[in-house]
């Protein structure tokens, strides 16, 4: 296990305000036009393994909701955060050979002229993993980050087993979101293209 503090994800995931467009103002809270993307997850830990995926986006997490979730995480922990967001359905992700998972949090930003999407969902767990009560069950989230270039092609990072918490920085005395990855390295997200 290796602790991974993802500064870009940490900042964008819950803390940065997302830009509001005229289209967003006319839509109900969190609603956006449906977008469908396909791509490949490439796991580099222990040997290269690739898996195709489809990502369907149907909504976004508002700034107000993001702050509420951050407060729940800070005061009650990740288990209560998962309970609070478990009924959210902002789209879904489906990977080859896996059942689809509802997207529970989606944040979108423009940073340095590039579109960035970050989504979190309850991760895939096997029957024997849950039954055996292994330490990996303490990592209930999966987080995908995709950064798009000017031509609309995306690459990014995928954390398959993530533990989230709020910690106080000893130097700055500021609270920060910390994401711990169960594996040695996060997987790469490659070849993302919009389909609809």
User: What does the alpha-carbon distance between residue 82 and residue 65 come to, in Å, rounded to a whole number?
Assistant: 14
Residue 70 in any domain: the answer is yes
The per-residue pLDDT for range 156-189, each reduced to its tens digit, is 999 988 999 988 778 887 778 888 888 767 899 9
Dump pLDDT digits (tens) for 107-153: 999 988 899 999 999 987 776 666 676 677 788 999 999 999 989 99
21 within domain boundaries:
no
Q: Is 148:114 a contact under the CB 8 Å cutoff?
A: yes
With a CB cutoff of 8 Å and minimum separation 6, the contacts of 168 are 174, 175, 176
List, for residues 104-113, the tens digit of each pLDDT value: 999 999 988 8
In a domain, 22, yes or no: no
Whether 23 is in a domain gets the answer no
Looking at the structure of the chain, the number of domains it has is 1
- Angle among Cα 27, 30, 32 to the nearest 5 degrees reads 60
What does pTM read for this prediction?
Answer: 0.80
Please indicate, yes or no, if residue 162 is contained in any of the structural domains.
Answer: yes
* Residue ranges making up the domain that contains 54: 2-16+31-194
The CA-atom distances, in angstroms, between 186 and each of 11, 74, 142, 177 are 18, 24, 10, 17
Residues 183/6, Cβ–Cβ less than 8 Å: no
For residue 11, tell me if it sits in a domain.
yes
Q: 161 in a domain, yes or no?
A: yes
Q: With respect to residue 26, please indicate whether it lies within any of the assigned structural domains.
A: no
């Amino acid at each position: 296990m290796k602790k991974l503090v993802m500064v870009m994800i940490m900042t964008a995931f819950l803390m940065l305000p997302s830009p509001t467009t005229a289209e967003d103002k006319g839509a109900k809270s969190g609603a956006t036009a449906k977008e469908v993307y396909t791509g490949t997850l490439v796991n580099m830990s222990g040997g290269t393994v690739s898996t195709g995926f489809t990502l369907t986006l149907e909504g976004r997490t508002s700034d107000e909701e993001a702050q509420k979730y951050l407060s729940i995480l800070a005061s009650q922990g990740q288990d209560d955060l998962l309970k609070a967001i478990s009924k959210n359905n902002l789209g879904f992700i489906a990977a080859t050979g896996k059942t689809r998972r509802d997207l529970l949090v989606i944040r979108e930003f423009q940073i340095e002229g590039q579109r960035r999407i970050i989504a979190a969902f309850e991760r895939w767990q096997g029957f024997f993993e849950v039954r055996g009560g292994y330490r990996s069950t303490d990592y209930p989230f999966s987080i995908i980050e995709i950064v798009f270039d000017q031509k609309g092609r995306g690459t990014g990072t995928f954390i398959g087993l993530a533990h989230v918490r709020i910690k106080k920085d000893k130097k700055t005395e500021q609270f920060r979101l910390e994401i711990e990855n169960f594996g040695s390295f996060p997987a790469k997200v490659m070849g993302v293209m919009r389909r609809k």
